[in-house]
Every structure is written in C-alpha cells, then in structure tokens.
Chain A
Amino acid sequence: EAGVAQSPRYKIIEKRQSVAFWCNPISGHATLYWYQQILGQGPKLLIQFQNNGVVDDSQLPKDRFSAERLKGVDSTLKIQPAKLEDSAVYLCASSPLLSGEVYGATNEKLFFGSGTQLSVL
C-alpha cells in the first residue's frame, strides 16, 4: 500500500516570499490533515479536510496560510508571505475515518507523510 506522499522534501526561501507544499493521501482516505512541527515541539494541527470540505481550520493563520483540497484527493498548503517563524516541518497525514468516527471502534490509525522541511531566511 502506497503511503502519504509529500513534496518537496526540503525548501529554503527568504522572508516575504511565497511557498507551496503538496500532499497526496493514501488512496481512499477521506480525511486529510496538515500539521506544523516547529523544532523541539509536537505537531500542531493547522487544518483538517474531509473530502473537499474543511472540518477544522481554527489554528490556521488565515492572513498568510491557505489550503485547498479541490477534488477531495490531493491537497496544497500555501504560505504567502512567509515569516521567519514559519520555519518548521509541515506534515501531511490521512485517515480513513470520517469526522465523528472513533478510532477505538476500529483498528485504523493516522498515517503521516515524510514531511516538508521549510527554512525561512
């Protein structure tokens, strides 16, 4: 089974530039998440999609971050303009469960991609 694909693996930009990350979830997974992991911290949820709809974007800095999942499959996360504090690893994850379903009722789990490491100079 193919895993969650992300690209690019690394990206270096200067502050105020824009950047985009791409994610292709595991085939058939309805739910897709974008997490931000700053060095020394745990992943922080930025946005959650179910198919092509947003379930939760309460922690997404909407003045500079945007994300879409137009066809309910792959997704793009964009930062414009980037700030120094955006330097982090951006992780994409997918799950076959739908919002409201409980992990404990099945043996499903969250699958992470390898992440995109962003350095803003």
Chain B
Amino acid sequence: QKEVEQNSGPLSVPEGAIASLNCTYSDRVSQSFFWYRQYSGKSPELIMSIYSNGDKEDGRFTAQLNKASQYVSLLIRDSQPSDSATYLCAVTGGYSGGGADGLTFGKGTHLIIQP
C-alpha cells in the first residue's frame, strides 16, 4: 500500500515570510511528484510538478525532491494571505511503473498566512 505522509497543521506563517511544506512517501520507485493547492469547497489545483532530484522553481514556488530520502517539499516565498489553503502532496508511478496511474495523495497541510 502506497503511503504519502504530511503534517496536517495548521501551519501558520506571517505574510511575506517563507512557508515550508513537507511530504514523505513510502514507495521507493515512485516517479512523479505533485503539489496541489485546495481552497475550502474547491477541487485540487496543480501548482507544481517535479520528476527528478533537486529543485524546481516557478515564480514564488519551489519544489524540492530527494528520492534517496523519499522526501518532497514545497517552499512558498513572500507568502500572501491568498496562499492560505490546504496543500496536498501527490505521488504516482511505482509498482506498475505507470505515470498515468492514479495519484496517491497525502492528507494535506493546512496553511494559514497571517496578515
């Protein structure tokens, strides 16, 4: 059974600071890693994807992947109140080797940006 672990929070960060969200996964051969943002009552929205070790930056967001440690993180720089949401880590690929196979999600981290 594939597992994805996240601290449920809430994680409270002052406006303008860096928010750091972490995720670990159990399936060592996982291939694709995603961060989704979910506002209350809305469906998940993809904000970052990462497939190889290292950092990937997109605007204020940086995803970090360490396959040896089975660890994925998301950094949000210059945090804004609009970043307040639940952030879901998702993983796919593994036993079947298929990237199009269903994503396994963590429970999500509730992030609160304090004005």
| A, B bound | yes
Interface residues of A (CB under 8 A from B): 31, 33, 35, 40-45, 48, 55-56, 91, 95, 97-105, 109-110, 112-115
Residue among B6, B51, B97, B107 making CB contact with A103, cutoff 8 Å = B51
Q: Counting chain B CB atoms within 10 Å of each CB, which of A99, A110, A115 scores highest?
A: A110
When the two chains form their complex, are residues B4 and A42 in contact, meaning their CB atoms are under 8 A apart?
yes
Contacts of B85 in A (CB 8 A): none
B13 touches A (CB below 8 Å): no
Residues of B within 8 A of A40 (CB): 8, 107
Segment of B14-22, B42-50, B67-75, B76-84 in the binding face? B42-50
Nearest A residue to B99, CB-CB: A102
Interface string of B13-47 (1 = CB under 8 A from A): 00000000000000000011010000000111110
Docked complex Cα distance between A105 and B31 (Å): 11
A69 to chain B, nearest CB (A): 15
* Known contacts A44-B105, A102-B31: A114-B100 contact under CB 8 Å: no
CB-based nearest A residue for B105? A42
* Nearest chain B CB to A64 CB, angstrom units: 20
Is the Cβ of B103 less than 8 Å from the Cβ of A45? yes
Min distance, Cβ B92 to any Cβ of chain A, angstroms: 7
Asked if residues B31 and A42 are in contact (CB atoms below 8 Å), the reply is no
CB pair B98–A99 under 8 Å, yes or no, is yes
Query: CA of A114 to CA of B43 in the docked complex: distance in angstroms?
Result: 5
Task: Flag if B99 contacts A101 (CB, 8 Å).
Answer: yes
CA distance A95 to B98 in the complex (A): 13
Q: Cα distance A98–B96 when bound, in Å?
A: 13
Could you give 20 example pairs across A and B, Cβ below 8 Å? Answer: A42-B88, A42-B105, A42-B107, A43-B103, A45-B102, A55-B101, A91-B43, A100-B98, A101-B98, A102-B32, A102-B98, A103-B32, A103-B92, A103-B93, A104-B31, A104-B32, A104-B51, A104-B52, A109-B46, A112-B45
A105 vs B103: C-alpha distance when bound (angstroms): 16
Contact yes or no, A110 B31, CB < 8 A: no
Q: How far is the CB of A115 from chain B (nearest CB, A)?
A: 5
Contact present for A100 and B31 (CB under 8 Å):
no
A105, chain B: closest CB distance, angstroms: 8
